[in-house]
């Protein structure tokens, strides 16, 4: 599949890069490498991390260092017993949008359902109106506020979808803003074209004509301008049918873009099987996925992206089938789904907590969900998601006593500092400024 990467292909731990001193060496730290298959959390107590040219040059126990720290790196940093994890990856967001839907939150509290609000022209379509009206500068400013909150919890890679434009100029505008965010902040952004998110009012009653526009105009333009790294769709009774979704996926494949899918959020549409058939990077939500859907995902290596924020905000009662996903060995990711309707969430750590408490994931699974498996859901296994030699040196440094603290303390933010592509970021100054 274009854009796909395989996991677990990295060189062994502790390997030293050639060419002199490392730029930085971290010692007096514990590591949650999140490498699968060994100790829980891939933990290394009293570890060391060497960084050279923005990449990890050494990851392992301090006792395996090939010399004394001061002879190995230009800059030796002492972590005072803190924990280092991979920089977090938020692999499913709708971060760029106009307006605000707090009034719909009130309507839902008063008894209206998400579907009812959507069918009455609210929901996604009310955000579409506000996003079409917003300038690029306005979209950038509001997205930056949300992005800073997310980055303040250790995120170094984020996926951002379009899908509130539903016409060519606005979809491209959203994607340009998403790309611009990566220039404004120390974060890697992966963009996803979600043209098939909802039916825009000007196409009311003509969904197939709108899908024509998505396939003939939106996907070719986004691909041509290098604005999309993947293509997504909303396969649902209030979204698009599996047949329409398949047409979107065919167009994505014609432009060598990998696909993802909002699947079985509110009902079972067979979206997981469809996504699997197209070798999708991920199928997301999955509260209503069937065992057949899970089996298909296992066969295709499609990641299950679980979104406890939307489950919580919409007061869903049906949980994604964690035990079945586990049994079939489907990799599970966890994300904020940051959006103005179903999940106005900017806390990946709260999502880790909710994945455990609401969905029954273990802390290790939930943390793999915002690191290793989230990177895989973006096709970035080769470069991100675990602490392994040769990967990008994106690190989160935490004031915690054990990795479980990251899931346990509700509303706490134990982030101490972030290293992005090898460079120490003073996120605290930014936090104080917001």
The residues binding ligand NIG (CB under 6 A) are 94, 123-124, 127, 234, 262, 265, 310, 337, 339-343
Nearer to ligand NIG, 100 or 324 (CB): 100
Binding mask 322-361 for Fe ion (x = CB under 5 A): ---------------x------------------------
Q: How far is the CB of 324 from Fe ion (least distance, A)?
A: 22
For residues 78 to 117, the per-residue mask of contacts with Fe ion, x marking binding by CB under 5 A and - elsewhere, is ----------------------------------------
Least distance between ligand NIG and beta carbon 260 (Å): 11
Q: For the CB of residue 313, give the shortest distance to ligand NIG in the complex, in Å.
A: 9
Which of ligand NIG, Fe ion, none is residue 83 near (CB under 5 to 8 Å by kind)? none
> Which residue is it, tokens 């003939």?
216
Nearer to ligand NIG, 124 or 218 (CB): 124
342 binds, among Fe ion, ligand NIG, none (CB under 5 to 8 A by kind): ligand NIG
CB under 8 Å to 137, separation ≥6 — which residues?
none
User: In the bound complex, what is the minimum distance in angstroms from residue 98's beta carbon to ligand NIG?
Assistant: 11
What residue number has its CB nearest to ligand NIG? 341
**Residue 188 contact, options Fe ion, ligand NIG, none, Cβ 5-8 Å cut-off depending on partner type:** none
The CA distance from 286 to 434, in Å, is 35
**124 vs 272, which CB is nearer to ligand NIG?**
124
Binding site for Fe ion (CB under 5 A): 337
């Amino acid at each position: 599949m274009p854009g796909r990467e395989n996991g677990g292909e990295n060189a062994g731990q502790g390997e030293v890069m050639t060419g002199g001193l490392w730029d930085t060496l971290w010692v007096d730290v514990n590591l949650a490498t999140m490498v699968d298959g060994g100790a829980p959390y891939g933990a290394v107590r009293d570890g060391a991390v060497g960084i050279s040219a923005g990449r990890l040059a050494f990851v392992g126990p301090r006792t395996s260092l090939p010399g004394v720290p001061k002879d190995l790196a230009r800059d030796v940093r002492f972590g005072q017993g803190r924990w280092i994890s991979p920089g977090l990856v938020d692999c499913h967001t709708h971060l760029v949008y106009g307006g605000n839907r707090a009034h719909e939150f009130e309507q839902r509290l008063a008894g209206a359902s998400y579907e009812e609000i959507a069918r009455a022209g609210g929901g996604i379509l009310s955000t579409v109106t506000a996003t079409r009206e917003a300038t690029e500068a306005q979209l950038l400013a509001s997205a930056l506020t949300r992005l800073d909150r997310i980055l303040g919890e250790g995120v170094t890679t984020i996926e951002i979808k379009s899908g509130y434009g539903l016409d060519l100029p606005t979809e491209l505008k959203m994607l340009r803003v998403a790309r611009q965010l990566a220039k404004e902040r120390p974060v890697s952004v992966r963009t996803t074209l979600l043209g098939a998110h909802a039916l825009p009012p000007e196409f009311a009653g003509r969904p197939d004509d709108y899908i024509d526009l998505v396939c003939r105009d939106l996907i070719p333009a986004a691909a041509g301008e290098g604005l999309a790294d993947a293509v997504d769709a909303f396969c649902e009774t209030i979204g698009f049918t599996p047949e329409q979704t398949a047409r979107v996926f065919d167009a994505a494949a014609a432009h060598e873009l990998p696909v993802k899918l909002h699947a079985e959020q509110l009902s079972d549409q067979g979206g997981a099987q469809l996504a699997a058939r197209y070798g999708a990077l991920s199928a997301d939500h999955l509260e209503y996925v069937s065992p057949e859907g899970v089996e298909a995902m296992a066969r295709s290596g499609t990641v299950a992206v679980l979104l406890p924020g939307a489950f919580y905000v919409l007061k869903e009662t049906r949980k994604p089938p964690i035990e079945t996903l586990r049994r079939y060995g489907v990799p599970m990711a966890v994300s904020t789904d940051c959006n103005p309707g179903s999940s106005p969430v900017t806390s990946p750590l709260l999502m880790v907590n909710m994945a455990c408490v609401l969905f029954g994931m273990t802390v290790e699974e939930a943390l793999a969900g915002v690191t290793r498996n989230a990177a895989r859901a973006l096709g970035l296994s080769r470069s991100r998601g675990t602490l392994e030699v040769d990967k990008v040196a994106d690190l989160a440094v935490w004031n915690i006593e054990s990795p479980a603290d990251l899931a346990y303390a509700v509303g706490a933010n134990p982030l101490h500092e972030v290293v992005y592509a090898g460079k120490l970021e003073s996120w605290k100054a930014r936090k104080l400024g917001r």
